[in-house]
Amino acid sequence: RPLGALFTPQQTLFRVWAPTASEVTLLLYPTGDPAGEPVQRRKMEPEDKGFYSTLLSGNLAGVYYAFEVKVADTTLFAVDPYAKSVGVNGWRGMVLDPVSANPPGWEEDAPLAAVTRPTDAVVYEIHIQDFSSDPASGIRQKGRYLGLSEGGTVTPFGEATGLDYLEQLGVTHVQLMPVYDFSSVDEETGGYNWGYDPQNYFAPEGSYATDPYDGRIRVRELKQAILALHQRGIGVVMDVVFNHVADSEAFSFNRLVPGYFSRIRKVKGKKVYSNGSWCGNDTASERSMVRRYLVDCCEYWAKEYHLDGFRFDIVSLLDTETVNAIMARVKQVNPCCLFYGEGWKVDSDVTKKEAVLAGQETSALTPGFGFFNDTLRDGVRGSLFDASAGGWLAGKEEFVPQLKDCIRGNAWWCPQPDQAINFVSCHDNLTLWGKLAQVFSDRSPEFLRAANRLAAAMVFFSQGMPFLLGGEELFLAKEDGNGGYDPNSYNVTDGRNRIPWSSLSQPEVRQNRDFYRDLIAFRKAHPLLRLGSKQQIDAALTFLDTEGCLIAFTLSDPAVEPGKLLVALNPDPAPVKLSGFDRCRVLLCQGWKQSKEDTLTVPGLGFVAAEVG
């Protein structure tokens, strides 16, 4: 049976699940002010199986509400976990009439159907505030949802920014860092945070809205941003953080049913929250009503906000049955929806022995769900845990075998290419430029720029789904002000995270932007780089016998694309000659010069992609 505030213009049914409660009371408020007093109290009627409900007549759209719950000798206050919108700072749910919150044109909008396979996608990660906050962005609604919907914006020197920039770059999807309601930014005074501290999962964050006090505004403006992206042919992926909540004691579900939403173990007779997330608590996704909640949540966002994908933070704290249930339900709404996330191995105290946690090690149990490919990232850049340690780009031959596996879309944990999310930077840890600057601290900026391009080439020439951090192509560095680079800038307010639109005044930055644009276009133009199965790849891809760190391979499948592609990537400083490729046409390259000999020369710290005759 449905939960939450079930609105019609004639009446609203409120239903909540609180099986351990002896009494539940509905509280109604005229505003979302957390200090306000209720204007009406209504005792809810118990149903079977722990549900409580009450039906109120009239049009209650815009009315705020909460629940008062008596459990044993304690009375607890709780926001509705299913609240579709909330008041300022998320302490009051709001009865939402979704139609009244729709922007013009929303009824004609739908999830994009142009990208039918993950391997055809190119995902660009952005933070709502960082996307527009650079003074040179030309965007009026800086730091707001509406900043994503502005077209025709340019820097003071005439370079496209914002929505136009995304369309020109050629990405197929943007991944929005958390836009559900989170607790770390005071919506009345403002602030900055990435938002990985969930408070209300079904409601949008208010600090990105022009008015955080009216729960309808945040809904309308987020939809307006999604609509604008869809009108440019760009899909929208939502970053969801289901593995933990901001405050386990204060979280609404745990107030309605104390301790149910989170994993708890006993230590010396005391209850202790499992903490595999390193955020103080882990979500007990294996419990039936928690699983239902997460499935309902994703279905709601997919249906109501026309989403095109979900990125899961530390999905390896969720069980495989829940992950598969989410995918199955959402694909009924949008068959082309993308699903991927962080699959690092973590430990958690699951409440059911039979529960199997999702992740890289169990990827075969969640077919169609992708995982961030740290095998490729660390192979190219070097260790995540030692800023100065280099990888393949630094001439480390030991990384060549694992990178060849990644090029095949078949890292040790990856049975199919649609499960490989290939990347060399994201919001976490050092940016690509920051890492390169640490590894090659004695090298010139020109060298670092070439290394950046070669790293990107590895991502886009590998089978799987390419992913990049917004600003990577503009050499986003996240300098910490002390001569170093910030690996964890989740709450820094000095602008170091923002997309550096101002840097487009520099010709070398514009050149790199154009390089990424060409790389994306090249991948789109060549289906051989976007094969859909391991079987296809095994038949089409052949590695050449090479020495050192040079990696070269051919791709050929007449059923997919006429002709044969040759790709050669060389991180070594000296050029390398490939014999037997006198009849080829160079299509894309970095640092390549025509050789008069009967060979193809792969430049030092460069690559060549050619059509073989």
Can 313 be counted among the known catalytic residues?
yes
Under 8 Å between Cβ of 581 and 598: no
Instruction: Look at residues 213, 206, 140 and name the one whose alpha carbon lies nearest to residue 179.
Output: 206
Distance in angstroms (rounded) separating the CA atoms of residues 153 and 504: 13
342, 418, 561, 572: which is the annotated catalytic residue?
342
126 pairs with which residues across the strands? Answer: 176
Tokens coding 183: 């607790």
d(CA 130, CA 195): 13
Distance CA 32, CA 85 (A): 10
For the purposes of burial, counting CB atoms within 10 Å of the CB of 511, is it exposed (0-12), middle (13-18) or buried (19 or more)?
exposed
Helix axes 374-381, 432-439, angle to 10 degrees: 40
Question: Is 259 within 8 Å of 282 (Cβ atoms)?
Answer: no
Active-site residue, selected from the candidate residues 97, 239, 313, 473: 313
Host H or E run for residue 559: none
Strand partners, 612: 564, 584
3-state percent helix, strand, coil for the chain, nearest multiple of 5: 30, 25, 45
**Tokens of residue 96, six digits:** 């939402």
Task: Return d(Cα 545, Cα 131) in angstroms, integer.
Answer: 44
Alpha-carbon gap, residue 164 to 459, rounded angstroms:
24
Q: Which whole-number Å values give the CA distances from 603 to 157, 169, 452, 567, in the listed order?
A: 34, 26, 15, 12
Please state, in angstroms and rounded to a whole number, the distance separating the CA atoms of residues 458 and 432: 13
Q: Which of 284, 180, 280, 194 is nearest to 240 (CA)?
A: 180
| Structure tokens belonging to residue 107 | 């009824």
- What sign results for the dihedral spanned by CA atoms 103, 104, 110, 114? negative
Q: Rounded to the nearest 10 degrees, how much is the dihedral formed by the CA atoms of 147, 307, 233, 587?
A: 110
Active site residues: 313, 342
